């Protein structure tokens, strides 16, 4: 194993941003992906090595990641790409990091925990805005109230998404939302859970979503009742209600492929001005059986800007042999205060217990 690292999916919106920021920081990842023209062009511009391969042939994947210390996997949709890459990483004893926020991906990788531990490597999904801020807020709340039995998380400030995120969200729509209730993952209809919040004098109408923490927070904190909420505009709510009877069609491959291609052509992701000026807020609340409550409010960079910074911070830590082995969440790998190591992150409000 060397100290080199591979950035797979460097041709995507987020992968390219990470590659450019890495080079500006003096880091030299090897770029990789299946889109030869884009990968080659970016690598030549940034004066980096590159490799072209897809994830269809396990032996080819293993050959291309062999000898690296870690892979930062940025190629979505993660529900189809994460397992082949993670399996190759385990086989070659290469640490695996990714940017997923999808519950099925966390579940699948958690199921590989024993294999990763035996191989002595780290499986660390969700090192971007999905799920570093929410995971660290959850862990910090558990640290403040060890008897907590329920957890609510919410975030605002992610109003623009990348093509990859939009495609992944579209694929998950027909399966409804999720919450954790008494330790079990429970499917619930979209828009069935609502939370009204006032943050710094501004009111928000938030709805439950199947964010990754619905699965991971129980691992990070032991809390067995978890919900995650985010802001959904009135227009989006109306559209969701109108489309609800037709969402089952997204389970059909040809229909999903056409709509994903359409989204990919229409969505470009937030521009530099948005990434630099928008601030995200992450709110969390835990309750104990006796009724005691703790609340935290975190302010951090816009989601994609945060993802660039947090993923590179995680890469540096793992290259420095931090994070442990086996399946880990960000807070389990680096501690709840990892969030404060990302520039621009600060606690905006801390309750004293109610």
Q: What is the mean pLDDT of residues 288-307?
A: 95
Tell me what percent of the residues of the chain surpass a pLDDT of 90.
72
Q: Model-level pTM?
A: 0.92
Categorize the per-residue pLDDT at 3 as very low, low, confident or very high, splitting at 50, 70 and 90: low
pLDDT at 2 over 70: no
Q: What pLDDT shows up at residue 200?
A: 82
77 touches 51 (CB < 8 A): no
Domains of the chain, start order: 5-128 (3.40.50.720), 131-302+341-349 (3.30.360.10)
- Report the percent of the chain where pLDDT is more than 70: 98
Task: Let me know: does 283 contact 295? Beta carbons within 8 Å.
Answer: yes
**pLDDT value, residue 316:** 97
Q: How far, in Å, CA of 208 to CA of 191, rounded?
A: 7
SS3 assignment, position 119: helix
Q: pLDDT by residue (tens digit) across 336-354?
A: 999 999 999 999 877 754 4
**What are the tens digits of pLDDT across the range 23-75?**
999 999 999 999 889 999 999 999 999 999 999 999 999 999 998 999 999 99
Question: What are the start-end ranges of the E strands in 25-125?
Answer: 30-33, 50-52, 70-73, 95-98, 122-124
Q: Between 274 and 42, whose confidence is greater?
A: 42
- Kindly report the average pLDDT of the chain as a whole number: 91
Predicted pLDDT of residue 354: 41
| Spatial separation of the C-alpha atoms in residues 178 and 180, rounded to whole Å | 7
C-alpha to C-alpha distance for 36 and 226, rounded to whole angstroms:
42
* pLDDT higher than threshold 70 for residue 144: yes
User: Cβ distance 131 to 330 under 8 Å?
Assistant: yes
């Amino acid at each position: 194993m060397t100290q080199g690292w591979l950035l797979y999916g460097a041709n995507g919106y987020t992968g390219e941003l990470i590659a450019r920021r890495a080079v500006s920081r003096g880091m030299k990842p090897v770029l990789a992906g299946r889109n030869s023209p884009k990968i080659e062009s970016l690598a030549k511009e940034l004066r980096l090595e590159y490799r072209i391969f897809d994830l269809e042939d396990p032996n080819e994947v293993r050959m291309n990641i062999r000898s690296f210390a870690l892979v930062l996997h940025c190629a979505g949709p993660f529900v189809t790409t994460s397992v082949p890459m993670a399996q190759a990483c385990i086989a070659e004893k290469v640490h695996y990091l990714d940017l997923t926020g999808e519950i099925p991906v966390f579940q699948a990788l958690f199921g590989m925990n024993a294999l990763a531990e035996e191989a002595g490597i780290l499986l660390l999904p969700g090192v971007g805005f999905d799920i570093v801020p929410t995971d660290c807020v959850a862990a910090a709340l558990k640290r403040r109230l060890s008897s907590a039995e329920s957890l609510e998380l919410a975030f605002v400030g992610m109003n623009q998404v990348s093509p990859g995120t939009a495609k992944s969200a579209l694929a998950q729509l027909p399966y409804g939302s999720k919450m954790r209730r008494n330790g079990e993952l429970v499917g619930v209809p979209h828009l069935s859970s609502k939370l009204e919040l006032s943050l710094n004098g501004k009111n928000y109408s938030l709805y439950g979503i199947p964010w990754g923490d619905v699965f991971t927070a129980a691992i990070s904190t032991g809390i067995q009742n978890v919900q995650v909420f985010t802001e959904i505009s009135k227009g989006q709510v109306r559209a969701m209600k109108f489309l609800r009877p037709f969402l089952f069609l997204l389970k059909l491959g040809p229909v999903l492929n056409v709509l994903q291609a359409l989204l990919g052509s229409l969505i470009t992701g937030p521009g530099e001005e948005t990434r630099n000026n928008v601030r995200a807020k992450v709110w969390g609340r835990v309750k104990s059986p006796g009724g005691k409550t703790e609340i935290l409010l975190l302010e951090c960079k816009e989601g994609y800007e945060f993802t660039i910074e947090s993923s590179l911070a995680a890469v540096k830590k793992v290259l420095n042999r931090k994070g442990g082995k086996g399946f880990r969440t960000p807070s389990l790998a680096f501690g709840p205060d990892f969030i404060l190591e990302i520039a621009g992150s600060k606690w905006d409000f801390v309750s004293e217990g109610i």
